[in-house]
C-alpha cells in the first residue's frame, strides 16, 4: 500500500486556524500552556481554559493585519482568542473601537459578540510562552503559520501594524519570504515608524507600521498612551483603505 499523502498547506484561513489550534511543534510551549490550563489562576478556577495554540482573529478579507507577540497565559491561552481576557487586550480593543475597527471596546471571552472591521489580529508565536518569552527556535517553528496566513491574506491586505520589537523582528523575514521586498539592512523598529514595501509579484505594496506593545509595562508607565495607540491605528487603517476612520 502507498503511504498516506502528506496534507498540503491550508487552503483558506478557516482551515489555517483549525490547523494552528492543533499544533504541537514546540514541546516546552505545549507543556507550559497545558500546565497553566490545569492549574489556572485562582480568579478563573471555575473556567475551562483553552490551553492550545491560539489562531488569528478577524475576517478572511482583512486589509489590515495587527501582529502581536504571543498569547498571554491567563488571557488568550484561557479564552482561545487573541488579546482577549487580559489588560493588554483591554487597551488594544478600546483603541480599536475608538477608531472604528472593533464593534465594541471590550474583549472578555470568545463568544462576547466582538467583531473586527477590515482587520485581523495574529502573532508570530501562537502558544503562551513561560515568562512571555518565546525562544528563537520556537519563533522559527511557528513561522510557517504566519507565512501561510500572509499568503492567504495577500489579495486584500494592504497594511500591517506590529506591536513591539519582537513582532517586528519576527515579521520582516516572513514578509520577505512571502512576496514583499524588505530592504537590507532591515528597517529598525520604532513607535510610529512606517515602511512601505514593494511586492515581487507586481501587486499592491504593503505599508508596515511600528507601535509600542500594549503590555502593562508600557501602558502603566505611560510609554504607550491610548492617544499614541489610536494615532498609529488610524494611520494604519487609512493606509489599508478602511473607509473613513473617525478621529476620536
Closest CA to 139 of 161, 152, 123: 123
Rounded to whole angstroms, what are the CA distances from 5 to 1, 2, 8? Answer: 12, 8, 9
* Residue in the structure block whose three cell numbers are 497565559: 73
Q: Which three cell numbers stand for residue 94?
A: 478600546
User: What's the whole-model pTM score?
Assistant: 0.94
Q: Cα(173)–Cα(182) distance, rounded to whole angstroms?
A: 8
| 161 DSSP β-pair partners | 66, 209
Which DSSP string do the residues of 130-188 spell out, in sequence order? GGG---HHHHHHHHHHHHHHHHHHTTT--EEEEESHHHHHHHHHHHHHHTB---SSPPP
| Structural contact between residues 114 and 137, judged by C-beta atoms closer than 8 angstroms | no
Please give the helix or strand (H or E) that residue 65 lies within, else none. strand 64-67
Per-residue pLDDT of the chain (248 residues; tens, 9 = 90+): 444 344 578 999 999 999 999 999 999 999 999 999 999 999 999 999 999 999 999 999 999 999 999 999 999 999 999 999 999 999 999 999 999 999 999 999 999 999 999 999 999 999 999 999 999 999 999 999 999 999 999 999 999 999 999 999 999 999 999 999 999 999 999 999 999 999 999 999 999 999 999 999 999 999 999 999 999 999 999 999 996 555 54
Closest CA to 192 of 160, 237, 239, 228: 228
Amino acid at each position: 500500500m502507498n503511504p498516506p499523502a502528506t496534507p498540503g498547506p491550508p487552503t483558506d484561513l478557516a482551515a489555517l486556524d483549525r490547523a494552528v489550534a492543533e499544533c504541537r511543534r514546540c514541546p516546552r510551549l505545549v507543556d507550559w500552556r497545558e500546565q497553566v490550563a490545569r492549574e489556572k489562576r485562582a480568579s478563573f478556577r471555575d473556567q475551562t481554559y483553552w490551553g492550545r495554540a491560539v489562531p488569528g482573529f478577524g475576517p478572511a478579507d482583512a486589509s489590515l493585519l495587527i501582529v502581536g507577540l504571543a498569547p498571554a497565559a491567563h488571557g488568550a491561552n484561557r479564552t482561545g482568542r487573541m488579546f482577549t481576557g487580559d489588560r493588554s487586550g483591554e487597551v488594544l480593543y478600546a483603541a480599536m473601537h475608538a477608531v472604528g475597527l472593533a464593534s465594541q471596546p471590550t474583549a472578555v471571552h470568545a463568544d462576547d459578540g466582538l467583531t473586527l472591521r477590515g482587520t485581523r489580529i495574529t502573532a508570530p508565536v501562537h502558544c503562551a510562552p513561560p515568562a512571555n518569552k518565546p525562544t528563537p527556535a520556537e519563533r522559527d517553528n511557528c513561522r510557517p503559520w504566519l507565512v501561510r496566513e500572509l499568503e492567504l491574506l495577500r489579495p486584500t491586505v494592504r497594511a500591517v501594524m506590529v506591536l513591539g520589537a519582537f513582532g517586528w523582528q519576527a515579521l520582516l523575514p516572513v514578509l520577505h519570504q512571502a512576496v514583499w521586498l524588505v530592504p537590507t539592512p532591515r528597517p529598525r523598529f520604532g513607535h510610529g515608524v512606517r515602511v512601505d514595501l514593494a511586492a515581487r509579484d507586481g501587486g499592491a505594496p504593503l505599508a508596515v507600521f511600528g507601535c509600542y506593545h500594549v503590555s502593562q509595562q508600557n501602558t502603566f508607565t505611560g510609554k504607550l498612551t491610548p492617544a499614541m495607540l489610536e494615532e498609529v491605528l488610524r494611520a494604519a487603517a487609512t493606509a489599508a483603505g478602511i473607509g473613513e476612520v473617525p478621529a476620536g
